């Protein structure tokens, strides 16, 4: 198999004639406009080649952003306007699309269906195909039939509910921490459902740790508001990273919300991290460790059942077999981590009572 080369600056030697992304405007832009823009200095085009022909490109040009439009972090100690790079046109030849995250829709479905089997609330999902296109279909949880009428259930993600701009969806960018998410839930959901909602939040965070779903940021958690009822929405937009570990090794991945003392999976993979998570959520350490242990223990079987429910062609895909093997290993490791956490969190033998009389 020949390798990809680049990105490198487009030259007259590059073969762009056979490039086809499916959009004739972009194909033409690469062939005619890109070389001209480059000569005139309007934009530069960077290409990736495969078998000596261009299979992907993007164009860059210099730009500026007014300080008032930039986020605080980007604007700090920068001139006004801020110098920026604008990524203009970009396209991938259709024979090379979807290689990086192959079968992401299928893996998202597998992740969601497995979560559901574990007892973590998740809408039912499926995969549909049309030609080369693979897409996930997800049952909406923000609609309900009441008294024969279709009702809309209002949902606010945790950024909206906290009055935060979507730029702050990751905790490391100023988004809500597990502590803030839990206290928001306790406030919004109200006494009757708060405990269940925070337990559900814990399950979602633990699940994301187990399957390594690194994108569980504040816009991927929502609160549902139906009349006086408020609840945490089920899991959505969750996909395991294990099949894509060759792109970024798992220990280097960062979680969107802190599990433990920082964002790295390598730090989250410690008994200490589960204990901190319990503390952060205001939940019992032992109960949290035991719940993580339980979810880890049943995960491999649940995944096998999900795989068995897939159409034969999907069951036979190498990515599915690879994920099953990798997830089983990770689940075993996580179970041990949770077991250690549970041992540490278990109450020690009662101290002998002090011999002082009380009045």
**Which parts of this chain interact with ligand ADP (CB under 6 A)?**
123, 138, 140-142, 155, 157, 219-220, 222, 236-237
Binding at 266: pick from Mg ion, ligand ADP, none (beta carbon under 5-8 Å per type): none
Q: Residue with CB nearest ligand ADP?
A: 237
Q: How far is the CB of 143 from ligand ADP (least distance, A)?
A: 8
CA angle 98, 50, 59 (to 5 degrees): 75
Determine the straight-line distance between the first and last CA of the chain, rounded to whole angstroms. 84
Q: Per CB under 5 A, does 104 bind Mg ion? A: no
| 85-90 contacts, C-beta under 8 A, 24 or more apart | 85/60, 85/61, 86/60, 86/61, 86/62, 87/58, 87/59, 87/60, 88/43, 88/58, 88/59, 88/60, 88/61, 89/26, 89/29, 89/30, 89/34, 89/57, 89/58, 89/59, 90/56, 90/57, 90/58, 90/59
Q: How far is the CB of 141 from ligand ADP (least distance, A)?
A: 4
CA angle 310, 314, 320 (to 5 degrees): 95
Q: Residue with CB nearest Mg ion?
A: 237
Q: How far is the CB of 254 from ligand ADP (least distance, A)?
A: 18
Residue 132: partners with Cβ closer than 8 Å, 6 or more residues away: 94, 97, 98
Binding at 140: pick from ligand ADP, Mg ion, none (beta carbon under 5-8 Å per type): ligand ADP
Q: How far is the CB of 238 from ligand ADP (least distance, A)?
A: 8
Q: Per CB under 5 A, does 237 bind Mg ion? A: yes
Binding at 138: pick from ligand ADP, Mg ion, none (beta carbon under 5-8 Å per type): ligand ADP
Q: How far is the CB of 346 from ligand ADP (least distance, A)?
A: 38
Q: Per CB under 5 A, does 111 bind Mg ion? A: no
Q: Residue 182 or residue 235: which is nearer to Mg ion going by CB? A: 235
Q: Residue 108 or residue 335: which is nearer to ligand ADP going by CB? A: 108
Binding at 134: pick from ligand ADP, Mg ion, none (beta carbon under 5-8 Å per type): none
Q: How far is the CB of 99 from Mg ion (least distance, A)?
A: 22
Q: How far is the CB of 157 from Mg ion (least distance, A)?
A: 8
Q: Give the total of residues touching Mg ion (CB under 5 A).
A: 2
Q: Residue 173 or residue 237: which is nearer to Mg ion going by CB? A: 237
Q: Residue 189 or residue 216: which is nearer to ligand ADP going by CB? A: 216
Q: Residue 142 or residue 167: which is nearer to ligand ADP going by CB? A: 142
> Can you read off the two tokens belonging to residue 87?
């990524």
Q: How far is the CB of 331 from ligand ADP (least distance, A)?
A: 24
Q: How far is the CB of 276 from ligand ADP (least distance, A)?
A: 27
Q: Residue 237 or residue 279: which is nearer to ligand ADP going by CB? A: 237
Residues 182-221 binding Mg ion (CB under 5 A) are 220
Strand partners, 86: 61
Q: Residue 142 or residue 326: which is nearer to ligand ADP going by CB? A: 142
Q: Residue 203 or residue 269: which is nearer to ligand ADP going by CB? A: 203
Q: Residue 35 or residue 123: which is nearer to ligand ADP going by CB? A: 123
- List contacts with Mg ion (CB under 5 A): 220, 237
């Amino acid at each position: 198999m020949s390798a990809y080369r680049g990105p490198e600056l487009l030259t007259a030697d590059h073969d762009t004639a056979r490039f086809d992304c499916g959009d004739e405007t972009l194909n033409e832009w690469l062939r005619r406009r890109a070389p001209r823009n480059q000569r005139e200095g309007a934009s530069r085009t960077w290409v990736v080649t495969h078998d000596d022909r261009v299979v992907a490109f993007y164009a860059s040009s210099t730009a500026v952003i007014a300080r008032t439009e930039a986020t605080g972090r980007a604007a700090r100690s920068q001139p006004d306007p801020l110098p920026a790079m604008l990524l203009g046109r970009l396209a991938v030849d259709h024979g090379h699309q979807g290689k990086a995250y192959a079968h992401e829709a299928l893996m998202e479905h597998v992740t969601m269906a497995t979560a559901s089997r574990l007892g973590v609330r998740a809408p039912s999902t499926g995969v549909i195909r049309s030609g080369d296109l693979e897409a996930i279909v997800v049952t909406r949880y923000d609609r309900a039939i009441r008294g024969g009428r279709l009702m809309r259930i209002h949902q606010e993600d945790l950024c909206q509910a906290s009055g935060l701009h979507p730029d702050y969806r990751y905790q490391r960018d100023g988004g809500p921490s597990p502590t803030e998410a839990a206290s928001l839930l306790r406030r919004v959901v109200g006494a009757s459902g708060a405990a269940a909602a925070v337990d559900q939040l814990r399950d979602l965070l633990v699940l994301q740790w187990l399957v390594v779903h690194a994108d569980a940021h504040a816009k991927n958690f929502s609160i549902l508001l139906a009349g006086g009822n408020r609840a945490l929405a089920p899991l959505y937009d969750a996909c395991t990273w294990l099949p894509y570990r060759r792109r970024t090794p798992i220990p280097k991945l960062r979680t969107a919300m802190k599990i433990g003392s920082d964002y790295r999976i390598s730090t989250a993979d410690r008994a200490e991290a589960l204990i901190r998570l319990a503390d952060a959520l205001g939940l019992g350490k032992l109960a949290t460790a035991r719940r993580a242990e339980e979810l880890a223990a049943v995960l491999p079987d649940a995944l096998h059942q999900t795989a068995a429910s897939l159409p034969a062609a999907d069951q036979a895909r190498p990515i599915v077999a690879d994920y099953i093997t990798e997830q089983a290993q990770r689940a075993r490791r996580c179970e041990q981590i949770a077991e250690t956490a549970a041992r540490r969190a278990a109450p020690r033998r009662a101290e002998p009572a002090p011999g002082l009389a009380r009045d």
